[in-house]
Amino acid sequence: MSAPVNGKARCRQHGGASTGAKTPEGRKRQSEGAKARWAEINEALAMARAMRQQNNEAIV
């Protein structure tokens, strides 16, 4: 086991939950990253829907 870090209120190994961005720049960067990830997810879902539609049309 590791010794605790002096001057810190959190466990060195386990830390704790992130408290999130505090500055406006950090919040903006977080928001832009989330939008980019959701855009990728939506693109993948749209592609899956199109493939499923093509498969359904091929069966009929």
DSSP letter, residue 6: T
| Spatial distance between the Cα atoms of 4 and 8, rounded to a whole number of angstroms | 8
- Give pLDDT, residue 7: 59
Domain ranges of the chain: 20-60
- The mean pLDDT of 43-50, rounded to a whole number, is 97
Give me the pLDDT at residue 16, please.
76
d(C-alpha 57, C-alpha 60), whole Å: 5
Please report how many Cα atoms fall inside a 13 Å half-sphere around the Cα of residue 54, on the Cβ side: 6
- State mean pLDDT over 18-29: 88
In the chain, DSSP finds a helix count (H) and a strand count (E) of: 1, 0
